[in-house]
Amino acid sequence: MKKIVLISNKKKNIPDAALRAVIEKLISLGCTVAIPSDDNCDVYREFHLAEYTADDLFEGASLTVVMGGDGSIIKAARKSSKYGVPIVGFNFGRVGFLAELEMGDLDLLDRIVSGDYKTEERMMLDVEIIREGEVNKIKYPCLNEAVLSNGPVSRLTDFDLYCDGSLVSHYDADGIIVSTPTGSTAYSLSAGGPIVYQTMECIVATPICAHSFSLRPIVFTGESVLEIRNASCRKNKMYITVDGRDNTEITPADVVKIKKSACKTKLVRVKDAGFVSTLRDKLNKK
Domain identity same for 156 and 68 = no
137, HSE (Cβ side, Cα atoms, 13 Å): 8
Spatial separation of the C-alpha atoms in residues 151 and 275, rounded to whole Å: 33
Domain identity same for 143 and 253 = yes
User: Could you tell me if 145 and 200 are in contact, meaning their C-beta atoms sit under 8 angstroms apart?
Assistant: no
Spatial separation of the C-alpha atoms in residues 147 and 239, rounded to whole Å: 8
Domain identity same for 70 and 179 = no
Can you give the CATH number for the domain in which 98 is found? 3.40.50.10330
Radius of gyration of the chain (CA): 20
Number of domains in the chain: 2
Per DSSP, the chain holds a count of helices (H) and strands (E) of: 6, 17
Domain identity same for 86 and 182 = no
Full pLDDT tens readout for the chain, 286 residues:
799 999 998 888 899 999 999 999 999 999 999 999 988 888 999 999 999 998 899 999 999 999 999 999 999 999 999 999 999 999 998 777 899 999 999 999 999 999 999 999 999 999 999 999 999 999 999 999 999 998 766 678 999 999 999 999 999 999 999 999 999 999 999 999 999 999 999 999 999 999 888 899 999 999 999 999 999 988 788 999 999 988 999 999 999 999 999 999 999 999 877 777 777 776 676 5
Can you give the CATH number for the domain in which 153 is found? 2.60.200.30
List the domain range (segments joined by +) for residue 25: 3-117+270-283
Domain identity same for 136 and 44 = no
Kindly tell me the burial class for residue 50, based on how many C-beta atoms sit within 10 Å of its own C-beta (0-12, 13-18, 19 or more): middle
- Is 271 in a helix, a strand, or coil? coil
39 is a catalytic site residue: no
User: Could you tell me if 210 and 172 are in contact, meaning their C-beta atoms sit under 8 angstroms apart?
Assistant: yes
Which of 70, 174, 243, 254 is catalytic? The answer is 70
Single-letter amino acid, residue 264: K
